[in-house]
Amino acid sequence: MNKYELALVVSAKIEDEARAAVVEAAKNLVTRFGGVITDVDDQGKKRLAYEIQKMSEGFYYFIHFDAEATVPAEIEQRVRIMDNVLRYLCVRQDEQ
Q: What is the DSSP letter of 19?
A: H
pLDDT tens sequence across 36-66: 999 999 999 999 999 999 999 999 999 999 9
Maximal CA-CA distance, the chain: 39
For residues 1-21, average pLDDT: 93
pLDDT band at residue 96 under the 50/70/90 scheme: low
pLDDT of 8 above 90: yes
C-alpha 91/C-alpha 63 separation (Å) is: 11
pLDDT band at residue 95 under the 50/70/90 scheme: confident
CA dihedral 33, 37, 42, 43 (to 10 degrees): -90
- Domains by residue range for the chain, with CATH: 2-67+76-86 (3.30.70.60)
